[in-house]
Structures are given as structure tokens and as C-alpha cells.
Structure 1
Amino acid sequence: MDDIQIQGTSVPALGLGTWQLTGQSCRETVETALGMGYRHIDTAQAYGNERQVGLGMDAAAVDREDVFLTTKLDGSNRDERSVRRSTRESLNKLGTDYLDLLLIHWPNTPWMASLSETLGAMNDVVEEGLVRHIGVSNFSPSLLDRARDISSAPIFTDQVQYHPYWDQRKLLDYCRIHDVLLTAYSPLARGGVLDDPALVQIGNKYGKSPAQVALRWLVQQDGVAAIPKASSREHLEANLAVFDFELTDAEMERIRDPSKVKTGVQFVRSQLPF
């Protein structure tokens, strides 16, 4: 497992996303993943699975200090009081004294608290020692820039959808300049990469699946971490097996320039609620 150095902190380049994982399946998946060597776990208040993630971490008997743990503020928890209350609730559900990373899940809408109020409260929980780093999710480069201006604590990451059909070069350039991690969710384009001809061809060269090539493409980029969701042991193992080969520069560029048809299809998929 490779690590990324951001703002003096080491973050595993590959993590486990837990969106749509619930109940016993979530607990067992987290426990299994940690047993395999995963050390980066991502959840959110909106996922409704923080307690199960915490139970999985406890069952794995891995030292808490060895796991980089992220959760995200729900849209209903953006005012100062709610940020403080919900952060403590998340800690209680996860069974931990601190979070490595707390994110704003989606940009604040006009009927929510202001971004300044939310970030101010997030700064407070950092000062209290409840959270080590704060960040954002689904922020554009301009909104990320605004968040960085507002917050006294550094913005550690912008977690966004990123895969071969979703160009994030502008955001990635900004993140690299300002030492901000880009965390890629839905890195397999909700299964869209699995039958991609270019990824199949490149994968055959290395004895890897299209999904493994897509993940390698992400983690081979400076300053990018990926958090694919997986629940089966087979997929968990396959996702980890992307650090024993390296794509050429030509292959990296070929993957970055997919067909416009596939890009359009994946855009439609990204808008679906399932």
C-alpha cells in the first residue's frame, strides 16, 4: 500500500468507501478489509452506517492510530450547534475519541447555515482535539478556494467523483498547487469501466482487470487517493492489488482521453439516485 504525504500527514492512497453498506454486511466488510491491510476507511453521517463501521474497526483489533478514518457532515448539520453535536454523535457511533478527517459532504445551500459558520464550527472541533483535519466534498475549484480563504485550519481534501470519464484536471491542478488531497469516490464509474475496451487491452498486458487499471490510473497520479466501495473478499483483494505494476505515460494519457459516448453515459449514470 502506497501513502500520500499531504500537509505533513501520511494518507493511504487506497481506502474503503462504505456508501450503501449497512448492517452486518458493513461491519463484516470493514473488519475483513482491515484484516487484509486496508488502513483508510470512509463513511458519512448520511450513510447511516457509522455504528457498523465502528464495530467493524473494533472487531478487526487494528490500532486506532493506524487507521485514517473519515466521516462527513449531513446537510442538516451545518450550523454551529449541529456541527458540534453531530461530530460528537459520530465519534460515539464510531467508537473513537477522534476523527482523522471531517468533511462538509455537499456545498451549503442558501437555506443552510453559511459556509463561514460551518467552517468556523469545524475549526472549533479541531481545536478541541475531536478532529485532526477538515475538508470538503463535491466542491468546485472556486468554492474550494473560498473555503480555504475562510477556514483558519487548512482544508485537507476535496472528495469528488473522479474516474476516466469524469475530468477533474482543473481541480487536481489547484489541489497540487495548494497541497490539498483529491480523494476520488466512484472511481470505477459505477461499474462503467468494467467493459471499457482500452482498459481491457491495457489490463491484458499486465494481467489485471479493467477495474484494477482504472484504480491504478488514479493512485498513480500525484496527490490522488481513491476510495472504491467493495463488499466481497474477492473485490477487496482485487482493489488492493494495484501497487505491483505501473502504467506508462502513454497509457495514462490514453485512459484520460476516453470516448465522448462513454463520458456521456457516465454523466447520466452519475445523476441517477441508485
Structure 2
Amino acid sequence: MTTAIPNPGLGTFRLKGEDLKSAVTEALDLGYRHIDTAQIYENEAEIGDLLATSGVDRSELFITTKVWYTNLTRDAFIPSVRESLAKLKTDYVDLLLIHWPSPDDEVPMEEYISQLLEARQLGLARNIGISNFTIEQMQRAIHIAGEGEILTNQVEVHPFLQNNAVVEFCQRNNIVVTGFMPLAVGKVLEDKTLARIAEQRSASIPEVVIAWLKHREIVVIPSSTKRAHLASNLECVDLVLSENEISEIETLDRDERIADPDFAPIWDR
């Protein structure tokens, strides 16, 4: 799998209305081309309108959306993807993900992974992937889809949930890790270790965190509506942390998971 996912991307979870308009408009103006959304975010139509009037050619954009777990059945999957494309005003997405594995395997994985492959075969998606899959679930998905077919697993990763076992499994199996909530919904701003490293580097705490994630070869999709924050997320590509700084950040891992709904799988530790 050779497709590169633009890094960083713009996460749009919980963004709607003027907040969404500000985020997408500013991000595109700054040079972002990767926009991440999902069926459950209920903002695909707004994003479609913003992208259609942005002046940015579709070929330059990398659009990701995700199929919600209630649409994983054979009857619902492809129609739901076509509905997403209609809302996004595009003939295809660059990356289509299974948002969550089916709770309690209510829908067999063979059924929805085969539908994911079908969506790509139909030209509805250029690349396919998964999100919130455990190691055991990734093993099953790889067995069903075939090696090299799954581009990414999008999972929660930040200094307080470093998700090492999942990250290492993905990277051993040539699956890109896309990290959501990389700033732990702002909690990183309260951490003294990160603050000290940022001060020593004349950088912001988010810049330090994103530099750490890039060191781990993780694609990030932070969410922000402020131009300055969006710009700093792009600018930190040149920030290279020392081995000592990386070791200090590694000590912050406390298995603090933010996205943990009642239908989540049993997580790897």
C-alpha cells in the first residue's frame, strides 16, 4: 500500500455551523488538504458545501469518512456510502473507514469488510481502512481483506494514552496509524512536563505533542477552529525532539482513554 495520507489532517468531530466553516476555510487557506469526517458527525453535507465552494480542486483534496456501526449490514452499507458521497458532493472519498467494529459481533466482520472492499471496487473509495479496532480484530480484518489492503487504523493516541501495542502491531503489518484526539481534548495543555519541554523549545505544547506523534510515524487529525492553532500544527513539522524529551513524554502514559463508549471493544493494554 503506497498511498500517503496527508499529515496533519483536519478533524471535524463535533464541528458544525460557524465553527465548522471557520475550521475548514482557515485550514484550506493554510494548505491543509486532508479533511476527516464521519457519518455520525452529521456534518458531511456542510463539509461538501464548503469544499465545493472552496476553489480547491477535488484532485488536491484527501477526504476521509467513516461508516457508522448501524450501517454495517450488507443491505445498508453501500447505500449509506452513496448517501455520504452525495452529501460530500463527490463521486468518491479518498479513504473510507469502518468507524467501529460491530458491537458484540452483531454483524459478522466478514460481512462488513467484504462490503468495504466492494465500495472500493465500485470506485466509491480510493482506499479503505478501519477505526477503533483491537489487535485481535485487526488480525481478523487482515485475514478477510488480505494483507496490504487496509491502509490505516484510526485510533485514539495522545501522551496519556500511547496505545503502544496497537501502534506496534499496525506498523509491523504496514498499516498506517492515524491518531485522533492527539491533544487529549486540551488536557495536554495542563501537563507540566509538556509545558517545560515546550518552553525550552520556544514552542507550544500542541507543537511538542504533534512532533512526538510524527516521531512515532503517526498521522494526526487535530481539530481546531483557530487559524493560529491550525498554522502551528503545520509549522511543527520541523521540530525534532531529543531522545531524552521523547523518553520524558513516554513516562506520561497512564492509559487514560477518552473515547470509550459502551459499545467499544475490549481494549488492548
Normalising by structure 1, what TM-score? 0.90
Residue 66 (structure 1) aligned with residue 60 (structure 2):
yes
Root mean square deviation, CA, Å: 1.8
2:92 to 93, 98, 113: 98
Describe how 1:242-257 pairs up with structure 2 within 5 A. Answer: 242-257=236-251
SS of residue matched to 1:158: strand
User: Could you tell me how far 1:79 is from its partner in structure 2?
Assistant: 0.7
SS of residue matched to 2:5: strand
Counterpart in 2 of 1:3?
Answer: none
Paired AA for residue 20 in structure 1: R
Do the aligned partners of residues 272 and 136 (structure 1) sit closer, same or farther apart at CA in structure 2, a change above 3 Å counting? closer
Paired AA for residue 119 in structure 1: I
- CA deviations 1:233-252 (Å, max 9, x no partner) are 22212222211221012211
Structure 2: tracts of 5 or more residues without a match: 263-269
- CA deviations 1:147-174 (Å, max 9, x no partner) are 1111147111110000111122111211
Do the aligned partners of residues 94 and 166 (structure 1) sit closer, same or farther apart at CA in structure 2, a change above 3 Å counting? same
Residue 178 (structure 1) aligned with residue 173 (structure 2):
yes
1:86 to 77, 80, 86: 80
- CA deviations 1:2-44 (Å, max 9, x no partner) are xxxxx21122121110000012331332122111111111000
User: Could you tell me how far 1:112 is from its partner in structure 2?
Assistant: 3.5
Counterpart in 1 of 2:112?
Answer: 118
2:156 to 145, 154, 161: 161
1:215 to 210, 216, 220: 210
Q: Which runs of 4+ in 1 moved over 3 A?
A: 269-273
Do the aligned partners of residues 121 and 272 (structure 1) sit closer, same or farther apart at CA in structure 2, a change above 3 Å counting? closer
Do the aligned partners of residues 271 and 84 (structure 1) sit closer, same or farther apart at CA in structure 2, a change above 3 Å counting? closer
Task: Tell me how many residue pairs correspond in the alignment.
Answer: 261
Counterpart in 2 of 1:229?
Answer: 223
Instruction: Find the aligned partners of 2:114 and 2:261 in 1 and give their Cα distance.
Output: 33
User: Could you tell me how far 1:270 is from its partner in structure 2?
Assistant: 4.5
Counterpart in 1 of 2:252?
Answer: 258
User: Contact conserved, 1:31 with 1:59, CA < 8 A, in 2?
Assistant: no
Instruction: Find the aligned partners of 1:156 and 1:211 in 2 and give their Cα distance.
Output: 26
Normalising by structure 2, what TM-score? 0.91
2:27 to 22, 30, 33: 33
Structure 1: tracts of 5 or more residues without a match: 1-6
Do the aligned partners of residues 97 and 270 (structure 1) sit closer, same or farther apart at CA in structure 2, a change above 3 Å counting? closer
User: Could you tell me how far 1:115 is from its partner in structure 2?
Assistant: 1.0
Counterpart in 2 of 1:204?
Answer: 199
SS of residue matched to 2:69: coil
Relative contact order: is structure 1 or structure 2 higher (C-alpha 8 Å, sep ≥ 6)? Answer: 2
SS of residue matched to 1:14: coil
Percent identity of equivalent pairs: 36
Counterpart in 2 of 1:4?
Answer: none
